[in-house]
Structure 1
Amino acid sequence: MTINASSPAEETTRAPEHLADLVGDAESFLSEVWGVRTATFSCGRAKALLSTADVWRELDCGSLVAPYFGVLREGTTPTVSGITETRIVQTKPRPGYAKPAAVRQLVASGHVFVLNQLEDWNGRVGALVDSLRAQCRAQAGAAAYFCAAGSGGVPAHADGAHTLTVQLEGRMRWSVGEGEHVSETVAEAGDILYVPAGQVRQGAPCGADALHLVISLQQPTARDLAELALATFLKGPAAAGIAGTHHFLSLEEKVAWLRTELRAHLAGHDRGALAEQAVLLRQREGRA
């Protein structure tokens, strides 16, 4: 079932900025759909995030550089092999610039053109990703996929992240799941397909060129939260206070102290705030 997240009378030129713009009732989505099942939503405004014209303009403007683009040849990892060149910029050689003619040739032969990390350099996508990162308490990123008519599309794969696939132009047929549990849906322009983490999905264009945006949302694991909580504990006043005297304690006394102080430390944590700290930490590590 497709849920309409926008009013028919609502303008379609202003890009969505929040989760509710994409899925309607955000609270219901997070409590009833998130991590539970695949779902489809409709938001006409989503088409304003990016267009095929925007994609070719970025390619032809001459400033597109790896790792912000690539092509899918085999598998699901984009490559820049054979489609980059070195240019002289401020008297120094700079590798990794896109060769538009080479990219277009591969796309025409059935390969998929990918724009990576759009949240870093596209204002509309960046604003939406920032909002989703905060609301879902998840590390977030976005990539756009241009699939020419007749191309093989996106091969079957599973992500460790939750995904919101926004159909921007054209139509894509998506298969989600494995074996007897495969479901199929055709995403029209303005549709959003939510797939929980770990679900296998595969997509191919239907009859014409298609452009879609994949927003990945990866929440901190239990280990991430535990490691962060322990790190803050070791930097806290309780650990500092015993640092010079712990060698006077027996092993049993040390264990008893650790149980008491660590329990008190964990009891004072706001789980939501801890998750947000873990997301920010992972985000900084990813950009380092």
Structure 2
Amino acid sequence: METLRSLVGDPVPFLATVWRRQACLLRPPTPLAPPVTLADVDAALASGLLRRPYLELVSAGQPLDQGDYTSARSVMGHDFGGYADPAKVMRQLDAGATLLMRKIEHWHSGAAALTDRLGAELGRRIEAFLFVTPPGRQGLSPHRDDADVFVLQLHGSKRWQVHAVPEDGHWQADPEPDPGPVRLETTAHAGEVLYIPRGAPHSAVGHTAGLSFHLSLTVRQPGTADLRTALARRLNDGLDLPRLPVDPAELRRTAAELLDHYREQLAALTPEDLCAAAETVPRPGTGTAAPEPARTLTGLAATLQS
């Protein structure tokens, strides 16, 4: 739990009294070294390869038009749109828009290592999002996230309002026009971590004294969709049926075998089993097998020269 410790301090009281219950601002005694910097963002924008939906610009809860911050590229006579245009992005930031960068663990090695470590400690899928907000500006309106969120303030500061945690599961991960009374109002400064429980409406405004830069680590929890996926996988385990029954009699036999198999699987399945299976359902882009060690071109060149 060393990664969690660098975010919350002692993990034991945090998990026992705070986790999934209430928002709080944390000042870990040994804070995590910044896993990503503004220079990294500059390099990603300058690379010419960053593209929507990995980045978006928003202002006062509204997304900007794609053409306001991207340009098209022509490759082999075909135009491909959605590429980040650094000059346009900077003009929009100057005008007060917030830069949102999604799932940076896909391209940033430091963020990938951090999400892998925290995910292993919590047994959950972790995603990383970056926000760059000009002074006194608000990017997103009050909204709910379908995840617990650790907000790592990396540069500058931001004023937050967090509302109550939902009492049941009848809510959507969407903008929340009526978030209810504020339960926590606080300013996160560089080196501090704000924890927001899953589903708690929240919003933030950049501090008037400078640029705000923060990293949000979202901890995804299993939901109804995961239960359905896990159930489908369990029900279909061990099935060996003809793909194309040739006549009505064989189709009926196949239907009977299918129903018998499902009944047997359901009779042996408990809610605890299904919940456990939902926590291990592979997500898009992941698999059950261990990934192969990453190869590099420099390593290949060295191998071929030896």
1:96-120, CA deviations, whole angstroms, 9 ceiling, x for partnerless residues?
2222111111100111112221010
Which amino acid in structure 2 is aligned with residue 26 of structure 1?
Answer: P
Inter-CA distance 233–93: structure 2 relative to 1 (3 Å threshold)? same
Are positions 1:52 and 2:49 aligned together?
Answer: no
Inter-CA distance 140–275: structure 2 relative to 1 (3 Å threshold)? same
Conservation of the 8 A alpha-carbon contact between 2:60 and 2:138: no
Q: Alpha-carbon deviation of 1:79?
A: 5.3
Which amino acid in structure 2 is aligned with residue 264 of structure 1?
Answer: A
Task: Determine helix, strand or coil for the equivalent of 1:157.
Answer: coil
Query: What corresponds to 1:150 in structure 2?
Result: 136
Query: What corresponds to 1:10 in structure 2?
Result: none
Query: What corresponds to 1:234 in structure 2?
Result: 236
Q: Alpha-carbon deviation of 1:23?
A: 1.7
Question: Number of matched residues?
Answer: 265
Alignment of 1:1-288 (within 5 A): 18-43=3-28, 45-75=31-61, 80-89=66-75, 92-177=78-163, 178-206=179-207, 207-222=209-224, 224-236=226-238, 261-266=265-270, 269=273, 271-272=275-276, 274-278=277-281, 280-281=282-283, 284=286
Which amino acid in structure 2 is aligned with residue 134 of structure 1?
Answer: A
Name the structure with the higher helix share: 1
Distance 2:181 2:138 in 1: 23
With 90-99 and 169-178 compared, the bigger mean Cα shift is at: 90-99
Task: Determine helix, strand or coil for the equivalent of 1:156.
Answer: coil
Distance 1:275 1:228 in 2: 5
Conservation of the 8 A alpha-carbon contact between 2:161 and 2:203: yes
Q: Alpha-carbon deviation of 1:183?
A: 1.7
Please give the TM-score of this superposition, normalised by the length of structure 1: 0.76
Q: Alpha-carbon deviation of 1:36?
A: 1.0
Q: Alpha-carbon deviation of 1:265?
A: 3.8
Unpaired stretches in structure 2, ≥5 consecutive residues: 164-178, 242-248, 288-306
Distance 1:142 1:92 in 2: 32
Which amino acid in structure 2 is aligned with residue 21 of structure 1?
Answer: S
Q: Alpha-carbon deviation of 1:267?
A: 8.1
Task: Determine helix, strand or coil for the equivalent of 2:68.
Answer: coil
Inter-CA distance 29–182: structure 2 relative to 1 (3 Å threshold)? closer
Inter-CA distance 267–141: structure 2 relative to 1 (3 Å threshold)? closer
Conservation of the 8 A alpha-carbon contact between 2:60 and 2:140: no
Conservation of the 8 A alpha-carbon contact between 1:162 and 1:217: yes
Distance 1:143 1:53 in 2: 16
Q: Alpha-carbon deviation of 1:137?
A: 3.4
Q: Alpha-carbon deviation of 1:200?
A: 1.0
With 96-105 and 146-155 compared, the bigger mean Cα shift is at: 146-155
Which amino acid in structure 2 is aligned with residue 29 of structure 1?
Answer: F
Please give the TM-score of this superposition, normalised by the length of structure 2: 0.72
1:17-66, CA deviations, whole angstroms, 9 ceiling, x for partnerless residues?
82232123335433432211112222464352122222223223333222
Conservation of the 8 A alpha-carbon contact between 2:235 and 2:266: yes
1:160-194, CA deviations, whole angstroms, 9 ceiling, x for partnerless residues?
22111110000111011143343201101011111
Inter-CA distance 229–100: structure 2 relative to 1 (3 Å threshold)? same
Supply the RMSD in Å over aligned alpha carbons. 3.7
Unpaired stretches in structure 1, ≥5 consecutive residues: 6-16
Inter-CA distance 62–34: structure 2 relative to 1 (3 Å threshold)? same
